[in-house]
A = this chain, B = another copy of it.
Amino acid sequence: MLQISLERDAGRQGRPVYRQIADQIRAQIAVERMTAGSRLPPIRELARELRVNRDTVALAYEELARVGVVEATVGRGTFVAGGSVVPGAELAPFEPALSPLAERLLEIERSRPSFGSAREAVPMHALIPDPALYPADAFRRVLNRVLQEGGPELLLYGGPQGHPRMREALAARLRGEGIDTDAREQVLCHGASQGIALALRLFADPGDAVALEEPTYNNVLATVSGLGLKAVAVPMSEGGLELGALERVLERPEVKLLYTIPTFHNPMGTTSSLAQRRALLGIAARYGKPVIEDAYEMDLRFEGRRVPPLAALDTDGLVVHLSSFSKSLFPGVRVGALTVRGRLVDALLALKQASDLSDAMPLQAALAEFIESGAYARHLGKLRRVLRARRDALLEALEEHMPDGVRWTRPEGGYQVWVELLEGIDTSELLTDAVGAGVLFAPGALFNHDGRPSHCLRLTFALADERALRRGVAILGEVVRKRGAVAGRRADRIHI
């Protein structure tokens, strides 16, 4: 009944065989050689007749089903669908099949919240340092100088470990934090994000599980997914990870590591205590599980006493320390670093080499010079003063404008405050109101592993100055009150 002729040696104008099959069946349906309800030959039979693989025919039928030309019924077969088919209408342009992991990442991207494009809205959603505070000109001059002095050699592949001077400069800073390390134990990378991916791959293969805080940095969830790893949630409280839950997760053999942000947590803004850190390391040591310590905002403390990083307390070689200059200088420098020992250095170098060979040496050399000259320290001094003033303005405004029962954290550094609204408010829904009213925030669902609704939200004092923060929180207070009233009424109805 079906008349199909295949151009197997398709050459220049060739289409994949399954597309040729799908196109010809569709054409015959269009001219009513096949009518609605009539049955397509079984896959096996057509495959034999055309001398092609069964998968090829199956793919053709799937494509036809996808565009609604046929309908497949399990166990019964595939039938021409009812309804009109436009003669000559084209199938969607051919695209090669994406891998399931790439499809999953696409899905994650699609589910990111939309912040609209309201130019006037107060930007309290983004964790991006304020360009108005970048020492752009000073850095440019340093970069120009190191390129002049370094000459062409600085434009070679620099090797996977990164520029020696930058590793020296970083090791010196880390020793200042109490970490016993040197330049040989630093592996520089292309921003902290690449550092996270490399550190995960150091211990976990696709199919393995990794323990992550919940809530946690949203991009790490995408990175974990994209690598084919399973994220296991360990709940956060203001004091840090819940240790009982951590123990139950780390004892599972399929869980290969813990990723944690102990200082100026993202999204919570909290810092765990020394006692909490020691307890966490004790649990990790008991099960021999490595800990990735994301210290991306370590240079941004503007209040209170420093708590030693996990890497300074680690006596078992379990901690991989991750640092970054994206939040303390600017993201465009793309310098992150992993601090590890022994074989882990070699393994990281092999992973880095297989990922992108080498970073751009000019930027690393310039950053080293910028640090050594004291310019970075001066910049940090100024930045911390600005951040403290912004945090104060934000907390005061929250005090003034938030309804009773709303709680928030008090960060001693970094850029973010975690706000807990009344239960029953879904902050993803609230965001729609907020965008309309002129204020942006990051809804808590973004930081949940499964994206489930949350009554929490993250506010940043990164891009907005004090005046804007006060205005933003006043607007947010209004939005919360309105939505809270509605939520209250809904709750009433439920109770009746």
Contact = CB atoms under 8 A, between A and B. Distances in A.
Contact of A332 (B53, B101, B154, B350): B154
Interface residues of A, number: 115
A334 to B, nearest CB: 5
A354 B223 contact: yes
Task: Tell me what chain A mostly uses at the interface: helix, strand, loop, or mixed.
Answer: helix
A491 B99 CA distance: 49
A395 interface: no
The 10 A-B residue pairs with the shortest CB-CB distance, nearest first, are A155-B332, A16-B288, A206-B206, A131-B152, A105-B350, A96-B290, A194-B356, A155-B330, A226-B354, A134-B152
B99 A204 contact: yes
A156 B331 contact: yes
A10 B285 CA distance: 7
Interface in A59-104: 59, 93-103
A14 to B, nearest CB: 4
A206 to B, nearest CB: 4
B197 A354 contact: yes
A179 interface: no
Interface in A294-349: 313, 315-318, 326, 330-334, 341-344, 346-347, 349
Interface string A202-233: 11111110000000000100110110100000
Interface in A150-178: 151-158
A140 B147 contact: yes
- Copies of this protein in the assembly total 2
Given A93-B317, A136-B152, 12 more contacts: A14-B315, A19-B288, A97-B288, A99-B201, A101-B205, A105-B353, A105-B354, A156-B332, A157-B331, A193-B357, A197-B355, A222-B353
30 contacts: A9-B286, A11-B282, A12-B281, A17-B288, A53-B251, A96-B288, A96-B289, A96-B344, A97-B203, A98-B343, A98-B344, A98-B347, A99-B208, A100-B205, A102-B201, A102-B203, A102-B350, A131-B152, A131-B155, A131-B156, A136-B147, A136-B154, A190-B190, A190-B359, A191-B357, A191-B358, A201-B226, A223-B354, A332-B360, A362-B363
A8 B131 contact: no
A13 interface: yes
Nearest to A11: B282
B315 A12 contact: yes
A131 B153 contact: yes
Nearest to A144: B144
A459 interface: no
Given A152-B134, A152-B136, A333-B155, A355 B194 contact: yes
A371 to B, nearest CB: 16
